[in-house]
Amino acid sequence: MLSQLLPLAYLAAASLFIFGIRNLSKVRTAARGNRLAALGMLAAIILTLLDLGTIDYRWILGGIVVGSVVGAIAAIRIQMTQMPEMVALFNGFGGAASALVALSFFFRAIAGHAGGDVDLIPALGGASIGVTSVLSLLVGSVTFSGSLVAFMKLNGTIRGNHLSFQAINILNLILIVVLLGLGGALLVKPWPYLWAMIAFLVILVGSLKLGVTTTLRIGGADMPVVISLLNSLSGVAAAMAGFVVQNYLLIISGSLVGASGLILTQIMCKAMNRTLGEVLFKNFGGSTGDKDDGYSNVKESSAEEVAMLMEDVSSVVFVPGYGLAVAQAQHTTRELANLLEARGIDVKYAIHPVAGRMPGHMNVLLAEADVPYEQLVEMDQINPDFKTTDLVIVLGANDVVNPAATNDPSSPIYGMPILNVHEARTVVIVKRSLSPGFAGIANHLFDNDNSIMVFGDAKKVLQEMVTEVKQLS
């Protein structure tokens, strides 16, 4: 009875996921959407456990308890500035789970054949399961190791290397062909038990290596693309695992996540005027970042002087970037904004799609500091307003406000959509030094007549501004 109802229950769970994502498209309903999706998941897990009936639950229970505890602790303790790391890591766990499902299926299939030959397709239960278990292992392992590298890059454990791209691209291509070829060979004819096991482990190790070498040389500015892509891959891996265990709920959910990650990847690429191919296979710009880049008209100022400026402005736009997250300056920004608003000044925040290290990173940070989300304005909406803005304060952003993207056809970032802050009456740039951003190119916004540089840590500078503004009459 239950086993006949189970597919219907899975369909209900899939519907809850779809309703959940639909509700995620509005801030007002987003929390409800998340709860709906969680409800779908709970139902799917409980019904599956019921369907399993009386089995030995020791292994399963151990996995559920350990996973739930670790997940809950991580979710409660993580800081909002660390969200990119956390999402990267979770993408990896999703990939790993799918790869492990394939591994488990494989080892169960060959278990009875020790010493003899294994014909994998009948042992696994069909050609489609054979093909998809190889794919699930491959995609899942690439997602896992790639995500771990992305995680370590984001939290600063490792830095990118600048090995020759071309050589690695060719080696990776060869590796993919070899792994797929080996997977195919494994399925078409019977293999001796030991060799079958070795071949499967070679696919595992090769895929892990592929994920590492592909992610390792991708630069910091491209991280939003990489995280989105890995997010997509974790979904594809789940869908492949769905083919292996022949469960349509896994296929539907995996496809939804795969599509979601792919759309975000596309949006991120567009916001950087780069194609996915360029992100994965080419170095950015490749120009030098070590020379002084010939700034000639830089005006340095202090927090105190900028605070004086705030005395007679009527509109202020903050432009947050990754530097704001590093300095943990979101709360101080909000404090300054509150003071300005109390003086009757119109305050907004301009959000570039790739500001930060993942899609929507700045929005979450500012939401944590209680900034109402209506004040966060997207690039296309706020760009026409800069002409009539009195004061722009750039906080730890660089390449996304570089006017070279619109007026210098020889610049490597030419064509990338930027926030046109240079059109405002005055631009204050809070930055540690004149060093270039991730694109490794000079930003002649710093040289403009209407630009003022304030050097220092964003949080410290903002705290000084807060103190000064409080003293204004």
Partner 1 sequence: MLSPLMIGLYVFVLAIFLGFELITKVPPTLHTPLMSGANAISGITVVGALYCAQTGETNLANIFGAVAVAFAMINVVGGFLVTNRMLSMFKRKK
Buried/exposed code over 403-427 (b: 16+ C-beta within 10 A; e: otherwise)? bbbbeeeebbbeebbbbbbbbbebb
C-beta closer to partner 1: residue 151 or 446: 151
Q: Measured from the CB of residue 227, what is the shortest distance to partner 1 in angstroms?
A: 7
For the chain, state the CA radius of gyration.
Answer: 26
In whole angstroms, how close is the CB of 37 to partner 1 at the nearest point? 6
- Return d(Cα 14, Cα 250) in angstroms, integer: 9
Position 231, amino acid? N
Q: Nearest 5°: CA angle at 97, between 94 and 102? A: 135
Between residues 58 and 291, which has the closer beta carbon with respect to partner 1? 58
Q: d(Cα 227, Cα 358) in Å, to the nearest integer?
A: 7
d(CA 239, CA 248): 9
Q: Which is nearer to partner 1, 62 or 286 (CB)?
A: 62
Footprint on residues 116-155 left by partner 1 (CB under 8 A)? 126, 128
Identify the residue among 150, 187, 210, 249 touching partner 1 (CB under 8 A). Answer: 249
Stretch that binds partner 1, among 287-295, 365-373, 386-394, 438-446 (CB under 8 A): 365-373
Residues from 370 through 429 that contact partner 1 (CB under 8 A)? 370, 372-376, 378
Closer Cβ to partner 1, 356 or 437, answer by number: 356
Binds partner 1 (CB under 8 A): choice among 120, 203, 250, 350: 250
Record the tokens describing residue 118, joined without a space.
């294994």
170 binds partner 1 (CB under 8 A): no
* 351 near partner 1, rule: CB under 8 A: yes
Report the residue number, 304 or 378, with the smaller CB distance to partner 1: 378
Tell me how far the alpha carbon of residue 96 is from its chain's centroid: 17
Beta strands in 176-271 (DSSP E): 191-192
Identify how many contiguous H helices and E strands the chain contains and give both numbers. Answer: 18, 8
Phi, psi of 351 (to 5 degrees): -110, 115
How does 100-128 read in b/e, with b if 16+ C-beta sit within 10 Å?
bbbbebbeebbeebeeeebbbbebbeeee
Window 308-327: residues binding partner 1 (CB under 8 A): none
Judged by CB under 8 A, the chain residues 70 through 99 that form the site for partner 1 are 70-72, 74-76, 78, 80, 83, 86-87, 90-91, 93-94, 96-98
User: From CA 139, how far away is CA 94, in angstroms rounded?
Assistant: 11
Q: Specify whether the CB–CB gap between 144 and 215 falls below 8 A.
A: no
Q: Which of 117, 312, 380, 399 does the annotation list as catalytic?
A: 399
Question: Toward partner 1, which CB reaches closer, 304 or 370?
Answer: 370
Q: Which of 81, 85, 105, 340 binds partner 1 (CB under 8 A)?
A: 105
Count of residues in the chain: 473
Q: From 208, 212, 259, select the one nearest 232 (Cα to Cα).
A: 259
Identified binder of partner 1 from the candidate list 183, 321, 323, 359, rule CB under 8 A = 359
Interaction residues for partner 1, span 198-237 (CB under 8 A): 227-228, 231, 234-235, 237
User: Judged by CB, which is closer to partner 1: 71, or 415?
Assistant: 71
End-to-end alpha carbon distance in the chain: 77
User: Which of 146, 261, 285, 417: binder of partner 1 (CB under 8 A)?
Assistant: 261
Judge whether 56 counts as a catalytic residue. Answer: no
Of residues 16-75, which lie at the interface with partner 1 (CB under 8 A)?
A: 17-18, 20-22, 24-27, 30-31, 33-35, 37-38, 41, 44-45, 48-49, 52, 55-56, 58-60, 62-64, 66-68, 70-72, 74-75
State the Cα–Cα distance between residues 185 and 163, nearest whole angstrom.
Answer: 33
Shortest separation between residue 287's beta carbon and partner 1, angstroms? 29
Task: Supply the minimum distance, in Å, between the C-beta of residue 118 and partner 1.
Answer: 14
Angle, CA of 403, 409 and 415, to the nearest 5°: 65
- Nearest distance in Å: CB 174, partner 1: 28
**What are the catalytic residues?**
399
